[in-house]
Amino acid sequence: PQAKYRKDYQTPDYTIDEVDLDIRLQDHQTLVSSRLTVRRQGEHNEPLRLDGEALKLINIELDGEVLSEHRFQVVNNQLQIDDVPEAFELLIITQLDPANNSALEGLYKSGGAFCTQCEAEGFRRITYYLDRPDVLAVFTTRLQADKDKYPYLLANGNKTDSGELENGQHWVSWHDPHPKPCYLFAVVAGDFDLLEDSYRTKHGRDVALQLFVDKGNLGRAEFAMRSLKAAMKWDEVRFNLVYDLDIYMIVAVDFFNMGAMENKGLNVFNAKYVLADAKTATDQDFLNVESVIGHEYFHNWTGNRITCRDWFQLSLKEGLTVFRDQEFSGDMSMRPVHRIQDVRIMRTHQFHEDSSPMAHPIRPDKVIEMNNFYTVTVYNKGAEVIRMLHSLLDEQGFQKGMQLYVERHDGQAVTCEDFVCAMEDANSTELRQFRRWYEQAGTPVLSITESYDASAERYTLHCRQHTAATPGQKKKQAFHIPLRVHFYSDSGELLKLTSDELKNDILQLTEEQQDFVFEKVKEKPVPGLLAGFSAPVKLDYEYQEKQLLTLLAYSQDPFICWDAAQQVYLQAMKKAIAAGSPVQLSQASLDALKHKLENQQSDPALVSLLLQIPSEESLSGEYDVIPVADIHRVCGELKQLLASELEKELKETYSSCHPQGAYQFAPTDIAQRMLANTCLAFLANLKNPEITALLERQFSKADNMTDELAAMQAAVHANHTSADNMLREFAAKWQSNSLVMDKWLATQASAARSSTLDSVKQLTSHGAFSWQNPNRIYSLVATFTHNLAQLHREDGEGYRWLREVIVRLNSSNPQVASRLVTALLQWRRFDEKRQTLLKQELKTLQELPDLASDLYEKVEQSLQ
Ligand code: B3K
Ligand code: ZN
């Protein structure tokens, strides 16, 4: 496999203005006729080179004449035609085998339906094409298939015609007036239940909304439809962006590598981000549906109308669209909860990636397999970079920038640089140094100390930033970091500190070292640093326990308040690891937490979040060499400690805060369930009959999946005696619902038991599992890879089994295999014994004769 570099970008030698596709769908012999209107760009005599993979070429005609063999050749997945005219029409006929396409890229079968996934480079598995995002064409698609099996034939744009044929076939044609890159192309054919609705845009356009789901699932589609309408409205109100076709379709499919895909006018979704009702989906599932439906809808402008010039620019659409979906979720409900969850993703997964062999800037410079770059860095750190711009320019300035970006670039394929320029020009400002966020990988560490001169009433913050080397980037330059700060008195009042450099609570860090001086400061303040998690950095400031408890009790900023609790836990756990002694919390800390529990009414969701201790994975982020056993020990001890010390308060809170009456998906109820279930998870560690009764009652009486699953998870994670019974009952009850059974698989894969690996292995033969379906694999295998202590067993059995799984998936679905291998790449972060074991598995993978490019890239990078 060959690497591609961002610096090598060249405009295409040819472009395609129109594409006319005729697709005759059959399980093993689908015929695709593609009629392309091609035009040379610039002066040159280069041949036309079209991308194509796993295709059977049946025929090519140029301007109506069959091309004889000597006029073209197929080499290295490219069809090359020499001596082509300035402008011409090309007809290409290819044959495909969708029923045997287990990689789920290009055209494939999901259950009984045909569907496609073309981003990033899947269209070349359908026909020969200029498969790059800067070639924008108008697509017309005619689909033909058996009418009984595939009553719905769907493609992008508007339906233009349809008809019946003899021998049970029918056809439908579609036209999409908006020029688009081929990665946004989609077709779906199948038999579905259809939920219909409509939306009138603020421009008065009536849009038909259609949601296609597997038969029998109509009742579980309503929430997704509601979310879609909310997203359409929100984008009009907050971003002034309005939908542009007369129809918007969403199809839910069971077999899908990722979450969903924003194909123009025809989104294809992983069913788990569409189907939700109280009985089978948790509150978190509902929130995920809302956010993914929003995300794909928001792509219609940020991604589809304005797309990426090349794939190195992926964050142009993904970082921005994640930022937009985060804001949508926050505006819809529970902003603090969403923000803290987003920060958790950054701290556990993105910081981890930033310190791994696959660390890359949000705009990568070098790519072997593009599918490897749909990462938390490009997506979530990309969104944090957009959020920093939003902080620096504020909402009004940011929206001015967005407006200019849309005006300038509608209908174009552009770069991250174009986006930053629009932000600069609209605000008459310069963001020269800010661009380093696009260029440099790695997580900056922000070290802060302070000094206070009581007699001069002067308070100074000394800030230093440093970013460790990442692969290919030895020396880092200083970032432009917006540091949001709040100051409190010891008794918790918000202090108004002033300095020329402090604007809207933000200090702008641009140097490696910088001091910020505040005058007329009457008492030494408690600094609430990085409020709102204002930059994707690691904060290194030695908080005293007393300061943390002040912030925990009084901070107005939910992130600071939550983070104060996290720091209390982290300090206690790290201390216990360093001393080799049991975890302890001071009486003051325990009292502070009790106080939160006793006064939970004002914000039960936040109390729930701040009680939750850091995961084993996030604690491991604190170490260069990860002490696996110690981490496992102290996490267990801290849970146990909190359960016993706070038993009374946890019980009282549990019984007082459970919502009354039937299940409702409403913020106040969600928040109460969050807190009640957090209390239950702690209490499950106390093995007494009263708690057993509590757990079992909630498990059997719950009228909703949130509470039912929470009880089972609490039991399993605490190794409670009721656990096995609950698992059995749950499986018996839900065996026919695969999305619910995914929760059952995941719960077992995350269990902190020495038998977990054995049960995971056994579960691969269970009826609820399948090696063909990514959702099943993610639930069981990917969840297991995040189970720190069980994956990193000392005997190396966890590694060995994971490697076997990866070998198996290397040939059937390399994208999924590649997601799983991540867990093995960080071998340098473990002790010598584990290093040896990990490297051995990586070497075994490296030597596979047919190693897919997805795995090749990561394994090579890791062993370098
Ligand atoms: N753009 C798609 C991701 C496609 C993944 C390709 N391997 C989903 C999204 O971000 O909305
Ligand atoms: Zn996206």
Cα(20) to centroid(ligand 2), Å: 27
546: confidence class by pLDDT, cuts 50, 70, 90: very high
568: confidence class by pLDDT, cuts 50, 70, 90: very high
Mutate to test the pocket of ligand 1, among 115, 256, 257, 261 (most ligand atoms within 8 A of CB): 261
Per the domain annotation, does 327 fall within a domain? no
Which of left, alpha, beta for 309 (phi over 0: left; psi -120 to 50: alpha)?
alpha
Per the domain annotation, does 765 fall within a domain? no
Q: Which atom of ligand 1 is nearest to the CA of 258?
A: 5
Q: Which atom of ligand 1 is nearest to the CA of 262?
A: 11
The domain total for the chain is 2
Per the domain annotation, does 425 fall within a domain? no
Per the domain annotation, does 33 fall within a domain? yes
Per the domain annotation, does 768 fall within a domain? no
Q: Which atom of ligand 1 is nearest to the CA of 296?
A: 11
Nearest CA to ligand 1 atom 10: 318
Nearest CA to ligand 1 atom 1: 261
Ligand in closest contact with the CA of 184: 1
Decide if pLDDT at 731 tops 90: yes
Per the domain annotation, does 510 fall within a domain? yes
Nearest CA to ligand 1 atom 6: 119
Which tokens hold the place of 18? 């129109």
Per the domain annotation, does 411 fall within a domain? no
CA separation, residue 27 to residues 174, 772, 798 (Å): 22, 17, 38
Cα(326) to centroid(ligand 1), Å: 16
Question: What CATH code is carried by the domain that includes residue 529?
Answer: 2.60.40.1840
**How high is the pLDDT of residue 360?**
98
Cα(366) to centroid(ligand 2), Å: 21
Cα(106) to centroid(ligand 2), Å: 18
Ligand in closest contact with the CA of 267: 1
Which of left, alpha, beta for 413 (phi over 0: left; psi -120 to 50: alpha)?
beta
Q: Which atom of ligand 1 is nearest to the CA of 303?
A: 1
What is the DSSP track for 333-345?
S-HHHHHHHHHHH
Per the domain annotation, does 813 fall within a domain? no
> SS3 for 135?
coil
pLDDT for 285-342, tens place per residue?
A: 999 999 999 999 999 999 999 999 999 999 999 999 999 999 999 999 999 999 999 9
Q: Are strands 445-453 and 538-540 parallel, antiparallel or unpaired?
A: parallel
Choose one of 161, 191, 221: the last residue of a domain.
191
Q: Which atom of ligand 1 is nearest to the CA of 292?
A: 11
Which tokens hold the place of 262? 């924003």
Nearest CA to ligand 1 atom 7: 371
pLDDT for 235-251, tens place per residue?
A: 999 999 999 999 999 99
**How high is the pLDDT of residue 687?**
83
Nearest-angstrom CA–CA distance, 367 and 670: 42
- Angle 621-626-627 from CA coordinates, rounded to 5°: 125
Cα(292) to centroid(ligand 2), Å: 9
218: confidence class by pLDDT, cuts 50, 70, 90: very high
pLDDT for 353-381, tens place per residue?
A: 999 999 999 999 999 999 999 999 999 99
Cα(259) to centroid(ligand 1), Å: 7
Residue 499 is part of which domain span? 445-547
Q: Work out the mean pLDDT of the chain and round it to a whole number.
A: 98
Task: Specify the DSSP element, H or E, that contains 460.
Answer: strand 458-466
Mean pLDDT of the region 469-491: 97
Which segments of 271-313 does DSSP mark as H helices, in order?
Answer: 283-298
Torsion of the alpha carbons at 566, 835, 373 and 530, rounded to the nearest 10: 20
Q: What percent of the chain has pLDDT over 70?
A: 100
Cα(266) to centroid(ligand 1), Å: 14
Ligand in closest contact with the CA of 324: 2
Residue 404 main-chain phi, psi, to 5 deg = -65, -40
Question: Which residues lie below 8 Å from residue 305, measured CB to CB, with a gap of 6+?
Answer: 178, 244, 406, 410, 411
Decide if pLDDT at 64 tops 90: yes
Ligand in closest contact with the CA of 322: 2
Answer yes or no: are the C-beta atoms of 445 and 536 closer than 8 Å.
Answer: no
Q: How many CA atoms lie within 13 A of 732 on its CB side?
A: 6
Question: What CATH code is carried by the domain that includes residue 186?
Answer: 2.60.40.1730
pLDDT for 73-99, tens place per residue?
A: 999 999 999 999 999 999 999 999 999
Q: Which atom of ligand 1 is nearest to the CA of 257?
A: 7
Answer yes or no: are the C-beta atoms of 245 and 158 closer than 8 Å.
Answer: yes
Query: Which residues approach ligand 1 with their CB closer than 6 A?
Result: 119-120, 258, 260-262, 295-296, 299, 318, 371, 374
Nearest CA to ligand 1 atom 5: 119
**How high is the pLDDT of residue 514?**
98
pLDDT for 158-172, tens place per residue?
A: 999 999 999 999 999
Mutate to test the pocket of ligand 1, among 184, 258, 292 (most ligand atoms within 8 A of CB): 258
Active site residues: 296
Choose one of 148, 171, 191: the last residue of a domain.
191
Choose one of 152, 175, 191: the last residue of a domain.
191
Q: What is the pTM of this model?
A: 0.99
Interface TM-score (ipTM) > 0.85: yes
